[in-house]
Amino acid sequence: MFYGWLRGLHLVMLDAMKLPMPFCAALLLLCARLLPAETVVNVAANGSAKFKSVQEAIMSVPMGTRENPVVIRIAPGNYHELVYIQREKRFFKLIGDNATNTVLAFNLYAGITNAEGKPIGTFKTPATTIDADDFSAENITFANDAGPVGQALAIRVDGDRASFRHCRFLGWQDTVLINRGRQYFENCYVEGHVDFIFGAATAWFERCEIHALRDGYLTAASTPVDVPFGYVFNRCKITGEDGVQTYLGRPWRQFASVTYLNCEMSDVVRPEGWNDWKKPHETIRYAEFDSTGAGASPTNRADWAKQLSLEDAKKYTVEKVLGGNDGWNPTIPPLDANIAATKYDIEYGETNGEKLLLDAHVPAGDGKFPVVLIVHGGGWMGGDKETDIVPVFAPVATNFVWFTINYRLAPTNRWPACFDDVQTAIRWVKAHAAEYKGDPKRIALLGYSAGGQLVTLAGTHPCKPNFFFQLLGLGKKTDTTVQAVAAFAPPTDLVADNERRGGLSISMRNLFNCDSTNLTDNVRAVLKKNSPLTYVKPGLPPFLLINGSADKTVPIGQTENFLKALKAANVDATLITIPEGQHRISDWKKFTPDWQEQLVNWLNEKLAAK
């Protein structure tokens, strides 16, 4: 349509040659303003777009500009290829559907031999290489899937002013090489075990998760002596596999600079924190401020690393760390939300000055789509809206609008804060689903573990306007009824669950503000009042329960008792048992390969348009 219009305008311009020059100039200016603001190239592994290969799409366009960037839109799929954005291709954006289902990967590693029979070495292993300046990516996984075979880079970045949002970086040793320039990472996930963030660049990591797969070192910075900042991790989470012990960093070069600000550190972080790699202590620039969690141990940290004061910590800002000579600030503006299929950090409520945020995942097509509201797990004390459920749901959720929420966590916020937030989110989704191509009359809740307790409680104990209010069309703003509830390993009987444990668990003590483990009559009453089992009655929406038979955190017997109660009340209820499955849902596919498809089939059936 646009090019047909442009051809017509060309004919007008031929006639315009007979008109006065100022008029022609104005017409030319109008044409320039109506030209496309960007170049968009589509890629789909299944052949539904012009290109099946990401690299072919990149090579089809010479370069972008600030005013006319090149946007490579990548449909869900696994793209097993080497990706290279050469130096000349500035202002390129790679936009995926979701990091869990849009994967760029390759499997070179340092020990592979070349034509001469010699190892190729670390620096020829990147699955993706970014040589150009002004690059950005969103909703993509960058992976090296060679496995634990030594140095194997998922990505190498040599360009300046590169930004990554909602991306995952998967590998083992040397996962991410940020070799030069300045980079910004926001809401990203990086995993590995040895030196898996390394290089000489200046980089800011905002609200990222850094996950250690084995004993090792998170970072190996080689910051030059004349560069004031190396890596800054702000409001990040340091996690790892069970039993892992890792260092926050070791200096690849003697002036290495790494700082952790306001980070939550699990017990995978060694008490001493840092390793000097036999470099002189007086030149290494390692620092922390206000670390929290089991891995925060300021009194046991290496005495040559700094604990910053509040005044010193305030000197670290994105503008100061990344500004350079050109004043680069990657937080303004963010990547174009109109390009992405996902919109992040939408405010669904506010309480006591704290904003409640959710992410909206919208499929292609006209809608109206069925809606799923996801509530993460984490023992009511941890977790995040893009973790646990999202990696297993995103690959199969192609026909749903789905929202993932953050909610207030214990012990900072006691019960019923988290449940209030879930109810607030339900009301928000009912009011706004149509804006995201969703059908507000077809909503399912989906929760895992603690999130499972919250959604099953919301499903069994909703806020519902009384009969007379319904007749008058009132009460819609308080209504939290939904059409279906699905829960993975949900604690539905808090009394029995804590009796099984021999007393109140740490989670329960933090959630309900109890001083001891004793199951007094008052404590039992509180637990019963907030157990979904208490509110089972006829007329509830359909329930799908999924539980591993070997789950020790939420034993399947508890879920089976909840199922019996639902069926006794003539509620439509289904249980999918994962044989030998434990509490970690990411492992369930090993035992029941089609469990995700069973979930989607159930959702499609219960949320079918009527």
Catalytic one of 158, 174, 388, 551: 174
Structure-derived torsion over alpha carbons of residues 548, 554, 559, 562, reported in degrees to the nearest 10: -170
CA distances from 408 to 352, 378, 430, 456 (A): 11, 12, 21, 18
CB of 438 closer than 8 Å to CB of 370: yes
Concatenated DSSP letters of 10-67: HHHHHHHTTS-HHHHHHHHHHHHHHS-SSEEEEE-TTS-SSBS-HHHHHHTS----SS
Kind of pairing between the strands at 102-106 and 141-144: parallel
3-state secondary structure 446-498: EEECHHHHHHHHHHHCCCCCCHHHHHCCCCCCCCCCCCEEEEECCCCCHHHHH
Q: How many CB atoms neighbour CB 381 within 10 A?
A: 16
CA distances from 131 to 74, 85, 160, 494 (A): 20, 6, 9, 54
Angle at 484 (CA atoms; ends 479, 487), nearest 5 degrees? 110
Return the exposure string of 297-336: e unless at least 16 CB atoms fall within 10 Å of the residue's CB, then b. Answer: beeebbeebbebeeeebeebebeebbeeeeebebeeeebe
Catalytic one of 97, 158, 160, 195: 195
CA distance 200 to 192: 19
Structure-token pair, residue 180: 């030069």
Structure-token pair, residue 411: 């012990």
Is 195 assigned a catalytic role? yes
The 3-state DSSP class for residue 288 equals strand
3-state secondary structure 98-158: CCCCEEEEECCCCCCECCCCCECCHHHCCCEEECCCCCEEECCEEEECCCCCCECCCEEEC
- Whether omega for the bond prior to residue 555 falls within 30 degrees of 0, making it cis, is no
Q: Where are the alpha helices (DSSP H) in 336-412?
A: 389-393
Closest CA to 418 of 389, 386, 391, 378: 378
Among left, alpha and beta (phi > 0; psi -120 to 50; other), residue 211 is beta
Amino acid of residue 82: L
C-beta contacts of 501-504 below 8 A and 24+ residues apart: none
Structure-token pair, residue 555: 């034993």
Burial of 471 (0-12, 13-18, 19+ CB in 10 A): exposed
CA distances from 177 to 124, 135, 203, 547 (A): 11, 15, 11, 40
CA distance 251 to 258: 9
Structure-token pair, residue 598: 């069973």
Return the exposure string of 86-95: e unless at least 16 CB atoms fall within 10 Å of the residue's CB, then b. Answer: eeebbbbbbb
CB of 274 closer than 8 Å to CB of 300: no
**Among all residues, which ones are annotated catalytic?**
174, 195
